[in-house]
Amino acid sequence: MQADLLLPLFSRKPRRYQAIYYILTGKRTVSNLLAGLTYDLLPYFHFYPKLPQADYQAALQQLMSQQYLKVQSETKTIRLTALGQLAQVQLLQRQIWPQSYDYWRDGDWQLQWERLLLSVQVISNYQHQQRHYSPLATQPLVQAEIRQWFYRSGRRQQHQFVKDLIATVIGLPKDLADLLANSLRSNAYAGTSDFQLGLDLNLTADELSLKRIAALSQFMHAITFLPQQSPLRQVFPAAPSPLSRGAEHTYTLWQAGQPWSTIVQNSYQKEGTLLEHLLEAAILVPDFNFESLPLQQLIAVNPESYFAQRLSEIQAQRRKND
């Protein structure tokens, strides 16, 4: 990967570089999520899900050799040098890094991109009576979703889909609108290759990918202003709960007012795991109630426990971020 594109992930204050790797690849633990909250990197959770550890380490080594980063081996942290801060500012000024992206709001950008590509392809080929073609989406999940969407509404509302798509794209900033429009494919338009787009925009392949995510993120935000019944909006499922399945179950019971002792007794999991579910909710649920009486009673059982200490850290960090 292009090493300098990692610079926005670091700060002049030391950060745990391994935690950042786990955030990027989507490793969901309380420790990693709390690091993401502390570093203001939670939106980039699962941003590079297939990033090899070796590639990440090689990029860090390159940035250190360029004197952009300085490592502290004892604490396993890295911070930006003065030279690195300057390089970071210059990179952000190029508006390549997708600063408005939010995994928890926009969803997995790779799946969303495939949904957009395939829905455009399906509508276009249907209008041109093309029935045999290779789908642009490689994920079976996306293929199944778009198939169901097309037979449910896309076929009947194809003209509205095109109208909404055009209106949404031209409403984006011009550079992002041009990039998005030239990245799409249809029966009548083969699109522009990534190689040619990179040449036209003076971007490397990695920079082009980030710029496209920035365009997709703003596109995803723009479609929320379309009517709920818009066929374009229906291509993209509503953002699921940010919680993992286990945490969602525990938190739902907790929110329903079940006593903690009952939740523990009826669960097949250890109490420590259930407490971590609450910590996950405290990090990820926007309206988590830190002052509720049941939670305060749970803390009072052992104010010095791992749970109580972590909860205090999370609350303090969320107040700071707000």
Q: Are 198 and 204 in contact (CB under 8 A)?
A: yes
In contact, 210 and 97? CB cutoff 8 Å = yes
Q: Measured at the alpha carbon of residue 25, what is the angle toward residues 86 and 136, in degrees to the nearest 5?
A: 100
Instruction: Give the pLDDT of residue 191.
Output: 73
Return d(Cα 305, Cα 321) in angstroms, integer: 24
Instruction: Check residue 216 and give its pLDDT.
Output: 95
161/155 Cα distance (integer angstroms): 9
Evaluate whether 176 touches 218 at the Cβ level (below 8 Å).
Answer: yes
Which one-letter DSSP state was computed for residue 8?
Answer: G
pTM metric for this prediction: 0.91
Mean pLDDT by 10 residues, the chain (322 residues): 94 96 96 96 95 96 96 93 96 91 93 95 87 86 93 88 94 93 79 87 93 94 92 89 94 93 92 95 94 92 92 93 82
Alpha helices in 14-157 (DSSP H): 17-25, 30-38, 53-65, 82-93, 103-106, 109-127, 140-149
Helix (H, G, I), strand (E, B) or coil at 40: coil
Read off φ and ψ for residue 78, nearest 5 degrees. -135, 145
Q: How far apart are CA 321 and CA 200, in angstroms?
A: 39
Give the Å distances, CA to CA, from 11 to 82, 90, 182, 210. Answer: 10, 14, 35, 20
